[in-house]
Amino acid sequence: MFWGWVKIDFRGNYVDEVDKLYKNIRGNTHQDPALIVSFMPYVRDVSGYEVVEAMDKAVSGIPIWGSITNNIDFNYETVSTICNGRFLSAGVAMMFLVGPIKPKFVVSSIPERNISNNRAVITKSEGAVLYEVNDTPILEYLANIGLVITRENITTTPLMVYYDGTTEPVALGFYTLFEDGSVLTGGEMPVGMTFAVGSIDADGIYESAKIGLDEILAIPERGATLLLPCVTRYIMLAPNQEDELKLITNALSESGLPFMMGYSGGEICPMVGADGKSYN
């Protein structure tokens, strides 16, 4: 394993800085990594997908798995990336796994019954910033369907976005509520794409965890398992916040194989497109 990290100036050219980080670590390895584990900061003005996009370009499509930093404070004022005993609020870390490793990726989202049947069309956006849906300001649209979004509850409502060329909707969270009523989301919001509002409850959390676990346990050549479910799941299980962790621990401990679980502020994982290829 080889690792490195860098403090990113997100007001500058972070694309070049991410590229330099990858090249610096790659210079210490004899071959391309089979997998890159990466953790990156929560930034109010830059969406996670933009940083992942820069990383994907830098690594030429090598699989990237990891998370945006987080804690259980919705304001995210104190989060940092921690690496080798140091921490930076704007730090990006990469760890290379080099050798005969064949990673498999399991994604389990919220159950279909927890996704609204009503789809809205994105009518005004800029990158990951969402302004209007169905020609209505996003906060007004959500209020009309009974969802009042505030800075205190902003991360608890997932949007299930139906991108062109994908087989399943992608769950994206809200990150920043701006003064003009627009919101920064976890992914690109192209005009014309549709989304439905999802809901998170304890039954849905357990169900999706079990679906993911069944898929993991069915992999015969599994050597180790890394899990990063969304931190919103932990929050929404209150007061029984350790129940998902206990469920996963009990299921994976029986095999005696190593595993690690944490909670994510935004999941980074290769996804299969309609062409059958994986994309970060």
The reported pLDDT for the residue numbered 70 is 82
Residues 155 and 207 occupy one common structural domain: no
The reported pLDDT for the residue numbered 12 is 67
* Maximum separation of any 2 CA atoms in the chain, in Å: 57
**Ramachandran class of 135: left when φ > 0, alpha when ψ lies in -120 to 50, beta otherwise:** left
pLDDT in tens, 222-277: 999 999 998 888 888 989 999 999 999 999 998 899 999 999 988 999 988 778 88
The reported pLDDT for the residue numbered 138 is 94
Residues 87 and 130 occupy one common structural domain: no
Residues 14 and 97 occupy one common structural domain: yes
Q: For the domain that residue 59 is a member of, what is the CATH number?
A: 3.30.1330
Residues 153 and 168 occupy one common structural domain: yes
Q: How many residues does the structure list for the chain?
A: 280
DSSP H or E stretch at residue 211: helix 202-217
Is 280 a member of any domain?
no
Which of 173, 198, 223 finishes a domain? 198
Is 167 a member of any domain?
yes
Residues 85 and 48 occupy one common structural domain: yes
Instruction: Determine the structural domain holding residue 218 and report its residue range.
Output: 202-268
Is 274 a member of any domain?
no
Is 64 a member of any domain?
yes
Which of 198, 228, 252 finishes a domain? 198
Nearest one of 40, 46, 80 to 64, comparing CA atoms: 40
The reported pLDDT for the residue numbered 73 is 67
b/e 199-228 (16+ beta carbons within 10 angstroms → b): bbeeebbbbbbeebbeebeeeeeeeebebb
Residues 127 and 208 occupy one common structural domain: no
Query: Which two three-digit tokens encode residue 129?
Result: 């910033």
Cβ neighbours for 88, distance < 8 A, ≥ 6 positions apart: 5, 7, 41, 80, 81
The tens-digit pLDDT sequence of the chain (280 residues) is 677 777 766 666 788 888 999 999 999 999 999 999 999 887 766 777 888 888 999 999 999 999 988 877 666 677 888 888 888 888 889 999 999 999 999 998 888 888 888 899 999 999 989 999 999 999 999 999 888 887 777 777 888 999 887 767 888 888 888 899 999 888 889 999 999 998 888 999 999 999 999 999 999 999 999 999 988 888 889 899 999 999 999 999 988 999 999 999 889 999 887 788 888 8
Which of 54, 74, 103 finishes a domain? 103
Is 222 a member of any domain?
yes
Whether the CB-CB separation of 182 and 130 falls below 8 Å is answered with yes
- The count of structural domains within the chain is 3
Residues 96 and 128 occupy one common structural domain: no
Query: Which two three-digit tokens encode residue 178?
Result: 């701006």
172 has which bridge partners?
Answer: 159
The reported pLDDT for the residue numbered 74 is 62
Residues 98 and 8 occupy one common structural domain: yes
The reported pLDDT for the residue numbered 84 is 84
Is 57 a member of any domain?
yes
Is 26 a member of any domain?
yes
The reported pLDDT for the residue numbered 247 is 95
The reported pLDDT for the residue numbered 1 is 66
Residues 75 and 12 occupy one common structural domain: yes
Residues 162 and 146 occupy one common structural domain: yes
Is 30 a member of any domain?
yes
